[in-house]
Amino acid sequence: MNKRFFLRATAALALAASAMGASAQALTPIKFQLDWRFEGPAAFFLLPVAKGYFKDAKLDVTVDAGNGSGGAVTRVASGTYDLGFADLAALMEFHANNPDAPNKPVAIMVVYNNTPASVMSIKKTGIKTPADLAGKKLGAPVFDAGRRAFPIFQKANSVGAVNWISMDPPLRETMLARGDVDAITGFTFTSLLNLEARGVKAEDVAILPYSDFGVKLYGNVIIATPKILKENPAAVKAFLSAFTKGAKDVMANPAAAIEFVKQRDGIINVELETRRLQLAIDTVINSADARAEGFGALNQGRLSLMASQVSDAFATKTRVNADAVWNGGFLPTKAELNILAAPKK
């Protein structure tokens, strides 16, 4: 009797183990490349991992930190990553400079409806409008998205010639704080907080956001390798649905979402990264343009204009083909995408 019970129990355990193994095998592995380090905005991707939203969608998603949008585009193009997060201008540049590349990534969802780029200065320098930048010393790394797009800002606002000073990213805000340059370009939610960390008060910083001065570039988008779009479109759709569900949670409670970033990088400054995340939400994710166009989607006319502007400003080898960089066919339903709340008054 005991022996028969033991055999049955053993068989039951074996069946359970087999079922668990089959369940694990049923998850589709997705490698995701961020554009930057594990900072506040990374919560949009880390929360759905931690809360199991991707797993519920039958996906096994791994999220890795990055070192810039250009790197994210290249890694997805190489096939090392299935999906990634990158500045749309960087994606356009890759397409136009590598027309014969066999695996050019495609944008499948807009996250930053507006470019986060801006020109920042210390108010005592007297820079109040774009016109005040003429003849001034501007600082930024040579690959900075704001610097690369500056000719578009310059043309839109009839800004005279400026003098560029190049430096590594960690020195950008330091040089502005010291007065070595008159202004810098950078992502607002990055450079503003970096300036504060260097002793500059937020109220002493003058900010000229590109999106407020005639530059309607899209910012960061989720990109995908053509291989996964062709071979597993269901997994891509499942990813975007789970991401959207997580994005709604992040915007509802940014402070709670930062805990998932801290789980990946234990030395982050929680207060600072919560503010960075909230700034990103307010300025480029839940912006007026995003609410008008709908979360995740874009306006075709605006996309075409951006393609032309990037071709000119980046002096690409070939013209950017707007139709080749975007595929909105994997987006969740409009009801799922309806996650942007009216701004708080």
Rounded to whole angstroms, how far apart are CA atoms 84 and 221? Answer: 8
Rounded to whole angstroms, how far apart are CA atoms 345 and 338? Answer: 20
Kindly state the average pLDDT of the residues 228-237: 98
Q: What was the pLDDT predicted at 19?
A: 47
Close Cβ partners of 326 (under 8 Å, ≥ 6 residues apart) = 106, 107, 108, 298, 303
As beta bridge partners, residue 141 has none
Residue 244 confidence (pLDDT) above 80: yes
CATH 3.90.190.10 fits 117-212, yes or no: no
Kindly state the average pLDDT of the residues 148-162: 95
pLDDT in tens, 210-219: 999 999 999 9
pLDDT in tens, 101-144: 999 999 999 999 999 999 999 999 999 999 999 999 999 999 88
Give the relative orientation of helices 300-313 and 88-97 as an angle to the nearest 10 degrees: 60
148 and 309 Cβ atoms separated by less than 8 Å: no
Q: What was the pLDDT predicted at 159?
A: 97
pLDDT in tens, 270-312: 999 999 999 999 999 999 999 999 999 999 999 999 999 999 9
Rounded to whole angstroms, how far apart are CA atoms 313 and 320? Answer: 11
Position of tokens 């759709």?
A: 237
- Ordered by start, the domain boundaries in the chain are 28-114+218-337, 117-212
Select the CATH number that applies to the domain covering 28-114+218-337 from these four: 3.40.190.10, 3.40.50.300, 4.10.91.20, 3.40.50.720.
3.40.190.10
Position of tokens 């809360």?
A: 51
- Fold identical between 28-114+218-337 and 117-212? yes
Q: What was the pLDDT predicted at 222?
A: 98
Distances (CA, A) of 236 to 108, 228, 303, 332: 9, 7, 22, 10
Kindly state the average pLDDT of the residues 183-209: 95
Q: Enter the tokens of residue 142.
A: 């040579």
Q: What was the pLDDT predicted at 23?
A: 47
| First CA to last CA distance, the chain | 73
Q: Enter the tokens of residue 272.
A: 């600072």
